[in-house]
Chains A and B, each alone.
Chain A
Amino acid sequence: MKNHKLKNVFREGAITTEFIANSIAKHQVKTSIGAHNIFLGQVRADEINAKKVAAIDYTAHEDMANHKFHEIREAAFLKFDLTCMHIYHSLGMVKSGEICLFVFVSSKRRKEVFPAIEFIVEEIKLKIPVFGKEIFEDQTHQWKVNS
């Protein structure tokens, strides 16, 4: 089993399209890769009781979350034949329409990356202690729960 370092997955604020583009560009030198797959989680402007979600303010148990992200990475590397994997999650305010989760997996072949990304995203939803305060346009709020 490869022994990967514990990484800090969190980024302050939204994950920008520039950041995502740069991440993709960095892989052009890794020419053994034949397939990438990307998942982008976007803040949805849900309408609840006639009020629209304007943003989500994310907080986390960062230490535990980074450990759990590490476990998910290690499990995914064991389960699938991946060349590399990157996970980034936002903390703080992310407006509706902006990206709050970026998962990027790469492999020699496409058949690995489809199930891998689904596995990783489902594990994140289930196991990562991240909390989301949905801020409505009128500045009232409610706490989001993953369904």
Chain B
Amino acid sequence: MMITIKYFGLLAEVTGCRSEKMNFSCTTISDLKEILFQKHKVLKNKKFKIAQHNELNTDKTKVTSSEIALLPPFAGG
């Protein structure tokens, strides 16, 4: 399926993109991360969390949304 990856903050800066679409047939967040690491090697040494449906996910979470967010460390307040 086509999914949209959204990059926030520092991650948008280092990948040079805020949002990109890609065809994705893997099942888990862990699979997705591997693909993203190949595409954007710079992500490998960055700290980030992944969210879909407005919730944070673990590596084992299944990808069920067509929109995935990559979130660097939070700095609110």
Contact = CB atoms under 8 A, between A and B. Distances in A.
Interface of A: 41, 56, 58-61, 63-65, 67-68, 89, 100-101, 121, 124-133, 143-146
Interface centre among A67, A100, A124, A132 (most CB of B within 10 A): A132
Interface residue range, chain B: 10 to 19
Contact of A143 (B6, B9, B69, B76): B9
Contacts of B71: 61, 129, 131
A67 B54 CA distance: 7
Contact of A61 (B10, B13, B51, B77): B51
Interface string B41-77: 0000000000100110000000000000101111111
Contact of A146 (B13, B51, B69, B73): B73
Given A64-B51, A68-B54, A129-B51, A59 B73 contact: no
B6 A125 contact: no
Interface centre among B6, B9, B51, B75 (most CB of A within 10 A): B75
Contacts of A145: 73-75
Interface in B6-20: 6, 8-10, 13
A124 B51 contact: no
B74 A125 contact: yes
B74 A130 contact: yes
A100 B77 contact: yes
